[in-house]
Amino acid sequence: MKHAKSLGGFYTYMRSARHGTRKGTVVVNADRIKALDELGFDWEIKNASFKDRIEDLKAFKAKHGHVRVTVKQDKSLSTFCSNMRSALRTGTMIEDRIKLLGELGFTWGTRASYSKNT
């Protein structure tokens, strides 16, 4: 597992370095790009759209009957949920997204409030 995490970190670092999306990152030189291309490196930065994540939440709800996603169940989706809560707290979430998540039964509270709602 440790190797997978470090390899994933390498992929993320290389992608963001080449695309210039990471502050303070040295741009990847042409020789390294060529070597990684020859290995079939996938340079595309994959960020799921909000719409994709809503579909993921719908599938999760169909399977589990709720949208209280834990890290153990789905780390990526749990992180998305956490980011949505943070966006609401900081006032950076748009009303349409609040409404869509609310319609799914999204829990805006903390983990402690989950046990009160079940």
The pLDDT tens digits of the residues spanning 78-112 come to 999 998 998 888 888 888 889 999 999 998 885 54
pTM of the model: 0.56
How far are the Cα atoms of 63, 71, 113 from residue 105, in angstroms, in the given order? 14, 18, 14
At residue 113, the pLDDT reads 43
Find all residues with CB under 8 Å of 100, minimum gap 6, and list them. Answer: 54
Mutual orientation of helices 75-90 and 50-64 as an angle, nearest 10°? 120
Which token pair is 14?
A: 């290389």
The tokens of 1 are what?
């597992």
